Amino acid sequence: MALIKECRGKTPTYGNDCWFAENATIIGEVTMGDQCSVWFSAVVRGDVNSITMGNKVNIQDGVVIHATFEKTKTILGNNVSVGHNALVHGCTVEDNVLIGMGSIVMDNCYIESGSIIAAGAVLLEGTRVTAGSIWAGVPAKKVKEVSPELFKGEVERISNNYVKYSGWFKD
pLDDT at 47: 98
Q: What is the pTM of this model?
A: 0.97
Chain-centre distance of CA 37, in angstroms? 10
Q: What is the pLDDT of residues 67-87, one digit of tens each?
A: 999 999 999 999 999 999 999
CA–CA separation, 40 and 138 (whole Å): 27
Question: Residue ranges of the domains in the chain?
Answer: 3-167
CATH, domain range 3-167: 2.160.10.10
CA–CA separation, 83 and 103 (whole Å): 8
Stretch 136-161: mean pLDDT: 96
Q: What percent of the chain has pLDDT over 90?
A: 98
> Above 90 in pLDDT, residue 1?
no
Give the length of the chain: 171
